[in-house]
Structure 1
Amino acid sequence: MIIAFAQHGLGEEAIQLFEKMLALGIKPDHITYVGVLSACIHVGLVEKGKNYYNLMKNVHKIEPTPSHYSCMVDLFGRAGLLQEAYDFIENMPIEPDVEAWGSLLSSCRVYKNIELGKIAAERFLLIEPNNSGAYSALSNLYSACGKWDDAAKIRKSMRDGGIKKKQGISWVQIQNKIHFFGVEDALHPQKDAIYNMMAKIWEEIKKRGFVPDTESVLHDLEDEVKEQILRHHSEKLAIAFGLISTPENTTLRIMKNLRVCNDCHSAIKFISELVGREIIVRDATRFHHFKDGLCSCRDYW
């Protein structure tokens, strides 16, 4: 239950449940601590997370596992404390794994720290030389900082090494059938209706104040082209299809194999208010509950 609360953005509820366990004298195990640390990560409670980590080691005498170390790196990184995250990795008593370096690399992408991002990517690739995620994250970091040539070099090295980037895919189940979508997907038999619906939604949410996040398109293109790509991201197409395929007021449930991007997250908040529906998106790490223009993660994910 603690882990489920954390995954659904209910960090405070997860922590309350953990505190209730302690009050009842139930000793947490290592899995319980992964759950409560995850809850602290998802709501940005850095100090509380540090306190729980110390409680685990010093009071309950639980030796941290790689999962606990990765949680702490993620806790610091998501809060923008990148140097603390790096120092924590360097002081770990065990060899850092790809989860720890991957967490730091992901945070460097968000906060545009090229120096630490390069270190994280290099150490990551020493462990898994052919991991496409590390290459993509470093390329995206360069692109986010406007270093297009460096990003192009990373993509070229991927092509030369035969390393394929993991494609973003979203899917939705309608009447026991699963419908898959990629970015700018042209394969669905109802493509025209889906694209028309998305075009109408796009114009309406812009009227309500939505501003497309063109920085989410990590290529050196004109803003108009970037906006078109953003409009046809896989989760947006899945939502548009869901809207034309289900009764009004029903909840939409979308799945995605990667982390939801900033633009889609912002757009879906506006869409939920526009259509008067709850839209639940499960991305690679958590569930986002969009309703009435808000998200359960409170824009911290």
Structure 2
Amino acid sequence: MTKLNLDIIGGPLLVLAGLALPFAGADYLMGIAFNLAMWIALTQSWSILSAMTGYVSLGHVVFCGIGSYVFILTNGTLPMPVALACAGLAAGVMALVIGLPVLRVRGPYFVILTFGLAELAKNVIVQIETSLGQFSRLIFDAPALDTLYFIMFGLAVASTAAAVLVRHSKLGRGLVAIRENEEAAEAIGVPVTRLKLIAFVVAAIIPGIVGGVLLLRTSYFEAAQAFDPVISFSIVTMAIVGGMGTVRGPILGSLAFVLLSELLWARFPQLYMIILGALLILFILFMPRGLSGLFERREARR
């Protein structure tokens, strides 16, 4: 069976399984599925820019954090769906504002700059909240877990669909050209700056909404948690483990990450990040195409 056939069959089956999950009636299982959907949404959105162009970002959490902050400010005034839309819009606007200067640098400079911007945003929000005497903000009357799961599952599907559409569009072809050789792409007429900026903005919107939904799940906002750099590191880890450059990679990487977290976090919390770091190194050295590369090799033999 070809890769295309597997994707055509497997995609709808995964969607149906995700929609049927709430009827299993287990809150623990629902919580795991919520986390899985969240990581898929974040990693797929990250891949739209970083995997397609090679501009590896360590600041993707900034869009999630900004979305959380805008949501906590608007949720009491606006209906929840509108507040979530505002969260995504705010993240997109932020990406548009910072995109032009940020995307001028490449390689390790881009990695460091995106990480620094996320930390800057976190500290700015912390200072704003401190000046207002708000060290944390609470949310009351949040929707039930199954409702939040359906929203997050929808974001995971939307993020995956966006990744597929971008990959098979003129935008995607331009982004791949940038990844292969940016100077050559620009020389043959590819609008490099515009394409990178579009991808940067598109990649920011869903994380902003994810931040709002995650806030409903945790029921409180605290800036250090909303802008936790571990979120960005985890996204990059999942993308590499699953396989960068493929749509199925973020799904496989997120699944492996969530299962590993459930197995290790409760038992070895002190070793958790060490194990993730070691796993990342092993995949980079011995499985650079990640888990999706294993599937591709198996399919090639058939």
Normalized against structure 1, the TM-score is what?
A: 0.23
Greater relative contact order (Cα 8 A, min sep 6): structure 1 or 2? Answer: 2
TM-score (norm 2): 0.23
Of Structure 1 and Structure 2, the greater helix share is in 2
Q: Which has the higher strand share?
A: 1
Whose radius of gyration is greater, 1 or 2? 1
